[in-house]
Chains A and B, each alone.
Chain A
Amino acid sequence: MSAASARRLLRIPAVPLAILIGVLLGALLILASGRNPLTAYSAILVGALAPENLPDTLNWAVPLVGMTLVAALPLRGGMVNLGGDGQLVVGALVAALVPLYLPAPGPVAAVAVILAAMLAAGAYASLAARGETRFGIPMLISSLLLSYPAVGIASYVVGFPLRDTTTGLAQTVMIPASVRLPAITGPLNIGLFLMAAVGAAVVFFDRRTVAGYELRMRGLNARFAGYGGVRLASQTVRIMFASGAIAGLVGAIIVLGSQYRYQDGALVTPGYTWSGLMAALLAGGEPLAAIGAGAFFAALQTGGFAMQRETAIPRVLTMVLQAIIILFLAIRHGVGRRSS
C-alpha cells in the first residue's frame, strides 16, 4: 500500500479500526474452521439487534454494563478493581438469603434487600481498599485475591448449609414471589431501569460533582490530587465502596429479577466481570464511553449465543473478538489506566 493510503488508514479513529481488525481476524479464525464468516457475523447482528431479540440483549446488557461501571468508576481515578466477581457474589448471596428471613411486604422488602446487597458488596470491596491504604498491598492484587475466597465460601454455603435440598443442584431456596422484580417483557425486568439510573448517576457524578472532579484529577496525577488537598486514602475507600456497591446491585438484580435464587456458579460463569473490565479499559474509565463499550460487548455476546444456535460456531468466538479489540487498542493507542 502506498505511503499516502497508509496515512489515511491511520487517521481512522482508533475504536472503529480496532473493531475492524477484530472482525477481520475473527473472520480468519472462522474460515480456518471451514465455516463462513458472513453467516457467522450476520447471525451475531440479527441475534443481538433484531426486535424480537432485543429484550434478551438488554437483559444481558444490564449485568454487563453494571460490571463495566464497577470497573470504570475506580479506573477513572487510576485505580484497578479486579475483584468484581467476589463483590458480585457477595451481593447476590445477600439478595438470595435476606428475603427468606425478612418479614416485610413485597416492594419494601425488595428495596431493603437491594440496599443490603449493595452495602455488603461495597463493604467487601472496601476491604481491598484498606489493604492498600493500611498495608500497602496494591489494590490490583488484593482485590483479585479477595475475589476467590468470596466465590469459594459462597459456593460452600449454597452447596451445604443453606442448600435447597429439594432440588439436585447447589442453590438456595427460591425467594418469595413478592420480592421478585417485576418483568417488563420476556426475560427483561425493571432491573433495567435501576441500572439505567445508576449509569446516569455515575455520569452525573463524573461530570458535575466536586468528588467527580477530584477523582478525575487523581486518575491523571494522583500526587497532584494529594497536593491539592484531596484525601487520597479515604477517596480510595469511598470509591471502592461505591464500586462494590454497584456490583452488589448487579448481583441483586440477577437474583431478584432472573433467577430468584443463588445458583452456584451462575453469576461468575457468564464472565460479566471480565467483559465489563475490558469495556472500562477501552473507555479509559470515562463513564459514558464505558457504558457504550459495555453495551457493545453485550450485543456481541448475545449475538454470539444466537450464532452458536444457528451456525454451531462456538460463542466463545465473541470473547476472542473482544480480547483482540482491547489488545489492539492497548498496543496501538495507549488505552489503559490513564485516559489518553
Chain B
Amino acid sequence: MAAELEAIGIVKRYGGLLANDHIDLAVERGEVHAVMGENGAGKSTLMSILYGMQAPDEGSILLRGRQVRYRSALDAIAEGMGMVHQAFKLFNSLTVWENVVYGLEPQRGGFIDRAAAIAKVGALAERYHLQVDPAETVGRLSVGVRQRVEILKALYRDANILILDEPTAVLTPQERDGLFTVIRNLTADGRTVIFVTHKLHEVMAITDRVTVLRDGKVVAQMITGETSAREIIRAMTGRAVNLTVEKGEAKPGAPVLKVERLTVEGAGKALVDNASFVVRAGEIVGIAGVAGNGQTELIEALTGMRSPDEGHVEIVGHDVAGFDVEHHRAAGLAYIPEDRAATGTARQASAADNLAMGFQHTPAFARIGLLDYKAVAARARELIARFGIRVASEAAPVVSLSGGNLQKLVVARELAHQAPLLIAEQPTRGVDVGAIEFIHGLLIAERDKGRATLLVSAELSEIMALSDRILVMFEGRILAEIPGERADEETLGLIMAGRAKQAA
C-alpha cells in the first residue's frame, strides 16, 4: 500500500547553502512520525515544502501514491495537509470560532452564520477532546489552549496529515500530556501526524517512527520502539553523546545581585510574585520554567526596562529598583536580551555602532560630549577578531549577519562591559551548534573569572548544563532552588508544572 505521504529527493538551496540535500521521507497512514534534528538541520525547510509554502528545487511529493504540486499553502490545505506552526498564526482580538472558520466561514444570506460556526467548532472540539470554548477571545487563552485552536483550524479544513512544528516548546508537562492524548485520538481516527522536534524523551514517548536530519540530509530512519535515545542523539549530532558542558567547580564569592520580595503586576494579577534570591560572584544561577511564567517580566524589572510594583533590587550594593536602564547599567549590569533583532541590535547600523551601545558615556569613547568614532571603530575591530564574528568590516551594517554571528556580537558587546552582573536571556536561541558551544564556553569562562551570571532559558538542557544553582519559576513565584549537580529533568519538570514544591 502506498505511503500516506512520500517525499522523494527533495532539494532546496538558499544561495550557496544546501538546506535540503536529496531528502527522502515516507510517512505511513495513521502513524506518528517524528522528524528530528538540531537547529539548522533542515527540518523547517522540509516542512515548509511539504506544506506548500515553498517549492523544492528538485524532487517530488506524493500523497497516497499520487504526485502533487503546490502553488501555495492553499493547495496543500486543499490536499489535506495541516500545519501547526511554532509561532501561532492566530488573531488575538477575535474569538476561537472566528479564528477557526476564518477564510471558510459558514454563511447565511451574505452574513456569517454565527450559530452554525459555533456549533461546528464546538462539535469538532468535542470529537477530538480538545477542551476549548468557541466563544472565548483567543488573546485571553493560555498557550496550551491556543495550540488547540491551531489544531482545530487544521481539522476544520479536514486535514489528513497534520504537521506539528516544535509543539511542546511552550507547553507545561501537563499540557504536553494533553496534547499527546489528542494526537492519539487523531491517529485512532485514521489521521497522520508528523512531529517535528528536537526533544528526545517526547519522541520516545509518542512516536512510531523517527527520521533524523543532519546538515540537510537524512542520516537515519528508525522505528522508535527498536532504538534508543543514545542512538538517536548520535545520529543527530554525528558524535558520541556529550550532554554536559566541561566545567570545573564554582567558587562563589560575595553577592552581586540581591532580589527581595520583587513583585510585578499586570492584567490584574502578579506576574512576578514576591521573588527573592541572590546571585553571587563566580556563579551561574539558572532560572528554569516554561515560557510565560513571569521570566520575561522578572528580567524586565531586573534590567530597568520596567518598574517593579514592590520589592528591592540591589546590584553591587546599589539600590536600583524603579530606576531606569542607564542607572542599572551604571550600577554594574550587562544584559543579553532574548530578542537580538528587536532589542539587542539596530539592524541598519554598522557593527561598530552596534558594539558601542552602552559604552557611549564611558571615558574610553566620550570626551566633553563628543564621541570618539576612531576609538569606537578600533574597539569594534578588536571585538570582532576576539570573538570570531564573521562580518565584512566594522562599518558593515549588521543586517547581513547570520543569527549566530549576530548573537556573538551581542554577547561580545555585553561581555566587553566587564560588568559584575550579567543577565543572559535565551543566549543560544536560534543559533547554530558551533556558536552555541562557543557561547556556552564563554559563559563558563566568565564565571571562572568571577562574574555573576543570571541565566534564563527555555531549554532545560542548557539550564542544567550551565547552572551552578537552579531556580524554578512557576506562575511568577520562585518555587524551588536546587543545586546544579542534584538537578534532574523529571524533578524539575514537575516543579515547573507546579506539581511539586521543593523545600528549599
Contact = CB atoms under 8 A, between A and B. Distances in A.
Indicate if A touches B (C-beta under 8 A): yes
Interface in A58-91: none
Interface stretch (A215-223, A246-254, A309-317): A215-223
B360 A226 contact: no
A224 B305 CA distance: 11
A338 to B, nearest CB: 7
A216 B358 CA distance: 14
Nearest to A205: B369
Contacts of B365: 210
Given A210-B369, A210-B371, A217-B357, A227 B343 contact: yes
Nearest to B326: A229
Contacts of B337: 227
Interface in B293-342: 303, 305, 324-326, 329-330, 335, 337, 342
Contacts of B346: 217, 220-221, 224-225
Contacts of B342: 221, 223
Nearest to B329: A229
A224 B343 contact: yes
B349 interface: yes
Contact of A224 (B303, B357, B366, B373): B357
B347 A221 contact: yes
Given A224-B344, A231-B326, A338-B348, A212 B357 contact: no
Contacts of A229: 324-326, 329-330, 358, 361
A227 B305 contact: yes
B345 interface: yes
B504 interface: no
A223 to B, nearest CB: 5
A213 B356 contact: yes
A339 interface: yes
Interface string B356-386: 1110110001100111010000000000000
A227 B366 contact: no
Given A213-B356, A220-B346, A339-B348, A226 B371 contact: no
B98 interface: no
B371 A208 contact: yes
Interface size grouping (class) on chain A: 20 to 34
B353 interface: yes
A214 interface: yes
A229 B360 CA distance: 9
Interface in A153-210: 208-210
A211 interface: yes
Nearest to B304: A229
A209 B366 CA distance: 8
Contacts of B335: 227
B370 A210 contact: yes
A228 interface: yes
A225 B354 CA distance: 10
Most buried by B among A211, A217, A221: A221
Nearest to B359: A228
Contacts of B343: 223-224, 227
Nearest to A218: B346
A217 B366 CA distance: 16
A220 B347 contact: yes
Contacts of A212: 371
Contacts of B305: 226-227
Given A223-B342, A226-B325, A227-B335, A214 B360 contact: yes
Interface of B: 303, 305, 324-326, 329-330, 335, 337, 342-349, 353, 356-358, 360-361, 365-366, 369-371, 373
16 contacts: A209-B370, A210-B361, A210-B366, A220-B346, A220-B347, A221-B347, A224-B344, A224-B345, A225-B346, A227-B305, A227-B337, A227-B344, A228-B357, A228-B358, A229-B329, A229-B358
Given A227-B337, A231-B324, A231-B326, 20 more contacts: A209-B370, A210-B361, A213-B353, A213-B356, A214-B360, A217-B346, A221-B347, A223-B342, A223-B343, A224-B345, A225-B346, A226-B305, A227-B303, A227-B305, A227-B325, A228-B357, A229-B325, A229-B329, A229-B361, A339-B348
Interface of A: 208-214, 216-217, 220-221, 223-231, 338-340
